Structure 1
Amino acid sequence: MTDSAKKHPIEDLIAVMAALRNPDGGCPWDLEQNFKTIAPYTIEEAYEVADAIERGDMNDLREELGDLILQPIYHAQMATEENLFTIEDVIRDVTAKMIARHPHVFGNKSARTAADVNAIWDEKKSKEKSRESALDGVAQALPALLRAEKLLSRAAKTGFEWPGPEDVLTKFEEELAEMREALKNGTIDEKADELGDLMFLLVNFGRMLGINAETAMRDCNNKFERRFKMMESFFKEKGKELKSVSLEEMEAQWKVQKVKENS
């Protein structure tokens, strides 16, 4: 077997990225990029992977995973140029981390349930990272709903937790009353504050039920989009633009589409 036959495909991708960033003959666009300009693409690619999974499109998932894999290689190439670290360093570090955080697989710890695994993970993570607060380390750049869930989960592990979901709903009703009051004479900032409180409580309610708020919101967005397009198509077939259709007609057709979807 030749050396080229033994080479892992990822080595070719690393070489391609190095060539794109080569000042001598590289790509002008890639040469202009830095960590901050590439970060939005990293986030976007992660969302596109999640989207392909939710749609069940495995061909698209294969492509999107490739795009996502490119991102750490891109960042590592820029880091290599600044003598910070290499892609090999990144891979070695994450490999060591996974082994250290799974002593029930690679060591003599015992873990019979997923809850046991989570407890071991948290214990190892807290030892690795020195934090003054239980909430330290929850990334500011996370989507707001996801960050809220992580903050609430961290707080719950300290015992700062409602007894049950019903208690969260009771608090939600209190906050809803405050929102109604703010609607009467509150400022836009006061209304925004009350809206944030309501959303935060709903995230907590979902978390206590084992429902991820970010996923639930994406599913709701998809459902709204699907039903709206069905309603839109219904009126188009009748030669009507939505702008010329009354709200009552649209609501009636919306209910029809909802019944069709649920039947």
Structure 2
Amino acid sequence: MMSAGKSLLDDADSTMPALSYAVALQTLASKVGFDWSDPRGVLDKIQEEAEELLSEINAAAPDKIQAELGDLLFAITNLARHLNVDPQQALQQTNQKFYRRFSFIEQQLTHQGKSVENASLLEMDALWERSKTEQSV
């Protein structure tokens, strides 16, 4: 039983990186049953949060956009926890993949005597798609 003024969530280390802290908060809440029983429920929540974010984007409300984006990131982190995926590792893996693919674009444009600064988005998109087939993972 929690004492007055103390939260179960106080056991999470708030100095951790934000993704890790989110997982810690969610894990603690889960221990007392405040959680989805199925990852599909989390996916529904992600959809709800994405729709709320879109609404604030359409309303051009910067302060609310940040809050809704935070809610969306928190929900996505929750999905990672439900799927036993470390969100920090997943994002790092994607960062590396993005780096490889964008570097591929730069290299291909250099071979064509161009640069990313003077290439069109259409050209870069085509090279991006090509990088997906020519590079592993």
TM-score by shorter chain over 0.5: yes
Instruction: Find the partner of 1:253 among 127, 130, 134.
Output: 127
Instruction: Find the partner of 1:187 among 57, 61, 76.
Output: 61
Match of 1:158 in 2: 32
Comparing 184-193 with 205-214, greater Cα deviation is found at 184-193
- CA deviation string 1:229-257 (max 9, x = no partner): 11111111222111111100000000000
Quote the Cα distance in structure 2 between the aligned partners of 1:183 and 1:230.
32
Quote the Cα distance in structure 2 between the aligned partners of 1:234 and 1:199.
34
User: What are the ranges of 5 or more consecutive residues in structure 1 without an aligned counterpart?
Assistant: 1-130
1:207 equivalent in alignment to 2:81: yes
- Two-structure CA RMSD over aligned residues (Å): 1.5
Quote the Cα distance in structure 2 between the aligned partners of 1:224 and 1:147.
25
Quote the Cα distance in structure 2 between the aligned partners of 1:171 and 1:226.
32
**Per-residue deviation, 1:227:** 0.9
1:136 equivalent in alignment to 2:35: no
Quote the Cα distance in structure 2 between the aligned partners of 1:255 and 1:230.
10
Letter in 2 for 1:139: D
Quote the Cα distance in structure 2 between the aligned partners of 1:247 and 1:186.
25
**Per-residue deviation, 1:262:** 4.1
**Per-residue deviation, 1:132:** 3.2
Quote the Cα distance in structure 2 between the aligned partners of 1:164 and 1:197.
19
Higher helix share: 1
1:218 equivalent in alignment to 2:92: yes
**Per-residue deviation, 1:139:** 2.0
User: What are the ranges of 5 or more consecutive residues in structure 2 without an aligned counterpart?
Assistant: none
Question: Percent same amino acid among aligned pairs?
Answer: 35
Letter in 2 for 1:198: L
1:229 equivalent in alignment to 2:88: no
Name the structure, 1 or 2, with higher relative contact order (CA <8 Å, separation 6+).
Answer: 2
Quote the Cα distance in structure 1 between the aligned partners of 2:100 and 2:123.
18
Quote the Cα distance in structure 1 between the aligned partners of 2:29 and 2:49.
20
Instruction: Find the partner of 1:170 among 34, 44, 48.
Output: 44
Specify the SS of the correspondent of 1:228: helix
- 4+ aligned runs moved over 2 Å, structure 1: none
Change (3 A) 1:186 1:235: closer
Specify the SS of the correspondent of 2:10: coil
- CA deviation string 1:5-58 (max 9, x = no partner): xxxxxxxxxxxxxxxxxxxxxxxxxxxxxxxxxxxxxxxxxxxxxxxxxxxxxx
Letter in 1 for 2:130: V
